[in-house]
Amino acid sequence: MRIRAGRSVVLAIMLALAACTSGPEATDAAADHGSGDTPATSPATSPAPVAPEVPTGAFFLDLRTGTQTPLPSTSIEGDSEVRFDDGYYYVPSPDGSRIYWESPGTTASAVARSDGSQGRRLDPTGAIDYYAGGWSPDGTMIVYQRRDSSGDDFGNLVVEDVASGRTTRLTDLEQPSDDVDGWWYLAPTFSPDGRNVIFQWPRPASFGIRWDLWSVPVTGGEPTLLVRNAAQATTSGGPTYAFVRPTPTFFGGSSLVIAAPDGFRTLVEATSDDIFEPKMSPDGSKIAYQDGGSIYVVDVSTGEATAVAVGRMAAWVDDGTLIVAPYDA
Residue type, 131: Y
> For residues 145 and 155, what is the distance between their CA atoms, to the nearest angstrom?
7
> For residues 104 and 114, what is the distance between their CA atoms, to the nearest angstrom?
19
In this predicted structure, what is the pLDDT of residue 114?
A: 92
Is residue 47 pLDDT above 80, yes or no?
Answer: no
User: CB neighbours of 94 closer than 8 A, spacing ≥ 6?
Assistant: 135, 137, 138, 139, 237, 282
> For residues 7 and 4, what is the distance between their CA atoms, to the nearest angstrom?
9
Q: Residue 111, class by beta-carbon neighbours within 10 Å (0-12 exposed, 13-18 middle, 19+ buried)?
A: buried
Task: Express each pLDDT in 112-153 by its tens digit.
Answer: 999 999 988 887 766 677 888 899 999 999 999 988 877 778
H/E element, 129: strand 128-135
In this predicted structure, what is the pLDDT of residue 260?
A: 85
Q: Is residue 139 part of a domain?
A: yes
Task: Express each pLDDT in 247-266 by its tens digit.
Answer: 888 888 889 999 988 899 99
Q: Is residue 160 part of a domain?
A: yes
Q: Is residue 136 part of a domain?
A: yes
Q: Is residue 204 part of a domain?
A: yes
Q: Is residue 2 part of a domain?
A: no
Q: Is residue 1 part of a domain?
A: no
Q: Is residue 256 part of a domain?
A: yes
Arithmetic mean of pLDDT, 76-87: 80
Overall pTM surpassing 0.85 (yes/no): no
CATH of the domain at 141: 2.120.10.30
Q: Is residue 82 part of a domain?
A: yes
Q: What's CA 72's distance to the chain center, in Å?
A: 23
Give 102's pLDDT tier (boundaries 50, 70, 90): confident
In this predicted structure, what is the pLDDT of residue 79?
A: 63
Contact 1/250 with Cβ under 8 angstroms? yes
Instruction: Name the phi and psi angles at 281, rounded to 5.
Output: -65, 160
Identify how many contiguous H helices and E strands the chain contains and give both numbers.
Answer: 1, 26
Is residue 242 pLDDT above 60, yes or no?
Answer: yes
User: Range with the lowest mean pLDDT among 189-193, 219-223, 259-263, 283-287?
Assistant: 259-263
Tell me which residue of 264, 261, 295 sits closest to 277, measured CA to CA: 295
Q: List the domain range (segments joined by +) for residue 122.
A: 7-325
Contact 257/263 with Cβ under 8 angstroms? no
Number of domains in the chain: 1
37: left (phi > 0), else alpha (psi -120 to 50), else beta? Answer: alpha
